[in-house]
């Protein structure tokens, strides 16, 4: 199995888990954060949701330029941004060939325009998925303090008997 084929299998699991986590974030107290240095609930939800459009951009253009983000008004709006990117992203993932996956260079630029990271497309797409998983994990820790129920991610939670 190739790296791209492995990614396609993992992506099908991870996008569902991400949609469940975003759907579980209560729409109240969206300015809440566990620490002054942390992102607020809405900022983190938007950041998590923004990974699908970022993945799509890497596949379409080979580059992503970081820019200040205006947080959405609701978690549902953020979840909608994630879901809206999925059809195009899934299509791009299925259509990219192995040579492009392994050899096309993808670059992430910071807000200052400087290169933050550059790697073969497949490596950058995997990196972005790992970043999504990391921040989704952070967001999942916000759900219970905000009064919600933590969904199953990789198996049962205390609130959800689980599904994958």
Q: Please report whether residue 162 resides in a domain.
A: no
Q: Please report whether residue 9 resides in a domain.
A: yes
**Predicted model pTM:** 0.94
Distance between CA atoms of residues 114 and 10, nearest Å: 30
pLDDT for the residue numbered 162: 77
91-147 pLDDT, tens digit per residue, is 999 999 999 999 999 999 999 999 999 999 999 999 999 999 999 999 999 999 999
pLDDT for the residue numbered 163: 66
Distance between CA atoms of residues 151 and 156, nearest Å: 8
Give the burial string for 123-140 (b: 16+ CB within 10 Å, else e): bbbbebbeebbebbeebb
DSSP 21: H
> What average pLDDT does this structure show over 57-83?
93
Residue 8: CB partners within 8 Å, gap ≥ 6?
93, 94
Q: Please report whether residue 120 resides in a domain.
A: yes
Domain of 82, in residue numbers: 3-143
What's the distance, Cα to Cα, between the start and end of the chain in Å? 22
| Count of domains observed in the chain | 1
In this structure, what is the dihedral angle of CA atoms 50, 20, 135, 77, given to the nearest 10 degrees? 30
Residue 30: CB partners within 8 Å, gap ≥ 6?
40, 41, 42, 45, 74, 75
Q: What is the CATH number of the domain that holds 69?
A: 1.20.120.450
Q: Where are the beta strands (DSSP E) in 22-73?
A: 63-65
Q: Please report whether residue 124 resides in a domain.
A: yes
Position 48 confidence tier, pLDDT thresholds 50, 70, 90: very high
Residue 43: CB partners within 8 Å, gap ≥ 6?
69, 71
Burial of 5 (0-12, 13-18, 19+ CB in 10 A): exposed
Residue 164, pLDDT > 60, answer no
């Amino acid at each position: 199995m190739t790296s791209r084929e492995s990614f396609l299998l993992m992506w099908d699991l991870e996008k569902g888990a991400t949609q469940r986590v975003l759907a579980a974030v209560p729409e109240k107290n969206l300015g809440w954060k566990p620490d002054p240095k942390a992102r607020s609930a809405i900022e983190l939800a938007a950041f998590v949701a923004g990974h699908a459009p970022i993945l799509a951009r890497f596949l379409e253009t080979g580059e992503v330029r970081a820019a200040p983000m205006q947080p959405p008004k609701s978690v549902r709006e953020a979840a909608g941004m994630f879901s809206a990117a999925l059809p195009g992203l899934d299509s791009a993932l299925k259509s990219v060939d192995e040579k492009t996956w392994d050899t096309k260079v993808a670059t992430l630029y910071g807000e200052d325009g400087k290169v933050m990271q550059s790697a073969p497309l497949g490596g950058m797409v995997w990196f972005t998925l790992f970043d999504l998983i990391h921040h989704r994990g952070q967001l999942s820790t916000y759900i219970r303090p905000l009064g919600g129920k933590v969904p199953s991610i990789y198996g049962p939670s205390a609130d959800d008997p689980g599904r994958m």
